[in-house]
Structure formats: C-alpha cells, structure tokens
Amino acid sequence: MHTVAVWGAGSMGRTHANCYKQCDEARVKYVIDRDTERARNIAALCGATPQVHPDAALKDPEVDIVDVCLPTYLHRECAEKAAYAGKHVFCEKPIALSCDDATAIIEACKSNNVKFGIGHVLRYFPEYEMAHDMITSGRLGKIGVIRMSRTGPFPRGWENWYSDSNRSGSLLLDLSIHDFDFLAWCFGDVERVFARSTQRDRPLEYALAVIRMKSGVIAHVEGSWAHPAQFSYKFEVCGNLGMIEFDSRKAQPLTVLAESMQASKPGVAIPESPLKDKHPYLRQLREFLAFVDGKITPRVTPEDAVKALQISLAAVKSVKTGEVVPV
C-alpha cells in the first residue's frame, strides 16, 4: 500500500486524486496547495487532509510518493524537495522548462535513491498505444508522413500561469510536447525542427512545426490554444503499405444533450475518455506504483522526458530565430 501526497490542486491534481481513489494499492493522504479552498475540495474527493504547506507531508514517514501536479516552473524546486525528503516522485509533464532543471530533478532522485515517473500520459491513451504498435510492428510499412494535432481553448490555470511563457514555456513546450514525445516513442531521435508560432499579445496561441526524424520520417505537429470551446486531438500516419487516421471528434461513443448544460467550464481541457480498464491516467499511475514496487520497468523513462523537452525547446528556438534547428 502506497501513501501519496498530491502537490498541486489544479485540474491535473484533481485527475490524479480521482485515479488514486480507484487504486486499491494507493491512497492519497495529503493534498497540498497554497489555495486552501482548492486543496480542501480535492482532499474531500479522496478522503485526504488538505495542506497549505508541503512540510507535514514531506516529514510524514508514511508518505512514500509525492505526485507533483504544479505549474511547470515549480517542478524542479518541488520535485527536488520531495526527493531530498526520500519520497518517490511522480511529476506532471513537461518535466521542466530547461534541460538543466530536468537533469537536476533526475539527479536529485538518483542521489536520494528514489524513483522518478513522468506524466507523458499520451503513451497510455489506447488510440495512441495502438497507433504506436501498428507503426513499430511494420504493419503500415515504411512511414512517409505523420501528422499530429492537439487543439483547444486557451487554458486558464492558477494565476493565469499558462499565459506567462517564463512559467509555462509556451504552447510548444506545454501542449505539443505530448506529440513530440509520441514521435520520439515511435521513431527515435529528431534530426531538425522548423516551427512558427503566433505572436502572443493576448491569451491565444497557435503553432505549427515541421520535423524531420533521423529515420527520415516527415512529421507535422499542430498545437492550438486558439480553438474556442472544444478540445480535440487528431493524428494520421501514412506508410507505403497502409495508413491510419484518428480524430477525437469522430470517436465519441456518447453524446449528451441536455437543457441544463452550460457552456464549457474554464480550466485545462482534459480529453474525456470513457474507458474502464484502459483509462489512461489510471493506467499511468498504476504503472508508476508497480515501478515503485520494482515489478516493472516504466514505459516512459526520465531520459524520454528530457528528449521530449529537447524537441520542444528546439521548436521554441526555431520560432525565436526563424531558423531550422537541429536537435
């Protein structure tokens, strides 16, 4: 039985707390957030104690896992604190805003002999998992072009941190990193990146990236925080033997229309996936628990987290310089 402190009571904190609630092998003992009310709300969901400061949780010997669900710019500081307190660390993606910070987190976990997990949850979405398997098994043949897309409204987080690129790293680092990680998972290393993004004089951002993998595959990644209302994600993979395509807007087994429904609520748009055994967030955390138990090797390694970050940083650099950036 694992005892978890969820650090950060935003939408990801809520999602993770809900998942632990469904795990027999773990329970959430603390929910930590500077905002008392938010901490209290999520703590109430899973029978935990709300905390404004992390100290009690970090000092509690019963806690063996700290789940960092904070804005990206706080990851290093908080993950290091947890590691130095001897807690295993699960960290939301992106791992950090810079490779230095990412490496520091990984080193802190190594030197304190605790395990580190990273929330590249896309690898647990069954549609992406199936696509990955079809690509790597050779069923589609030699891949020519892959198109990835992730679009939604501008996320509203705590203190509007998403709109501050010094704290979120911008769209290409925060959102498109999911798709960059998927590309690396399927095809390995990236050769070069060319990207463009809109000027951000308002809470609105849209980016397009053209990527050449070392294997020769041509990839296109669309990321948007400029799509009103609806969050959706798509991909298309074309090989010389066959192709696959997916559009979340066309994969909705359930639609509810009710008079009582209001316009969509603010917050991070989390794709809704009506799944049971295959629920991606639940499986991600279950695998991390099994990894902590030494039962499995993790699907996503700390090095994978750094690789995905490097692609994001190359894309951001291409936007800044206007040049083609080798990775």
Partner 1 sequence: MTKTVLAREDRIRIGIISFAHMHAASYAYALSQIPDAELAGIYDNDKERGLAAAAMHHTDYYHSLTDLLDTDIHGIIVCSPNANHRDECIRSAQAGKHVLCEKPLATTSEDATAMLDVCKNEGVILATAFPVRHAPPVTRAKEVIDSGAIGQVMAVNATNHGRMPGGWFIDRELSGGGAVLDHTVHVADLLRWFLRDEVKTVYAEVDTRMHDIDIDDCGTLLMEFHSGVFATLDPSWSRPKAYPTWGDVTMEIVGTKGVISLDVFAQALLEANDSDQRVLYRNWGDNMDLLLVKDFIQAIREGKEPKASGLDGLKALEVALAAYESAASGMPVRLSCPSCSTAQL
Interface with partner 1 (CB under 8 A): 142-145, 147, 149, 151, 192, 194-196, 198-199, 202, 204, 206, 208, 210, 212, 216-220, 222, 224, 226-228, 238-243, 322-324
The backbone torsions φ and ψ at residue 238, rounded to the nearest 5 degrees and listed phi first, read -115, 120
Nearest to 198 by CA among 161, 226, 228: 226
Least distance in Å: CB of 145 to partner 1? Answer: 5
Nearer to partner 1, 228 or 274 (CB): 228
Q: Looking up tokens 């998992």, which residue turns up?
A: 129
Q: How far is the CB of 75 from partner 1 (least distance, A)?
A: 29
> Which residue number, 9 or 143, has a Cβ lying nearer to partner 1?
143
268 vs 153: CA distance, rounded Å: 8
Residue type, 157: G
Q: DSSP alpha helices (H): ranges in 138-208?
A: 165-168, 171-174, 177-187
Both tokens of 179, joined, read 């798709």
Nearer to partner 1, 142 or 278 (CB): 142
d(CA 136, CA 128): 12
Tell me the three state secondary structure of residue 208: strand
d(CA 316, CA 324): 11
Least distance (Å) between residue 209 CB and partner 1? 8
Both structure tokens of 149: 């897309």
User: Nearer Cβ to partner 1, position 23 or 226?
Assistant: 226
* Least separation in angstroms between CB 194 and partner 1: 5
Q: How far is the CB of 196 from partner 1 (least distance, A)?
A: 4
Nearer Cβ to partner 1, position 66 or 207?
207
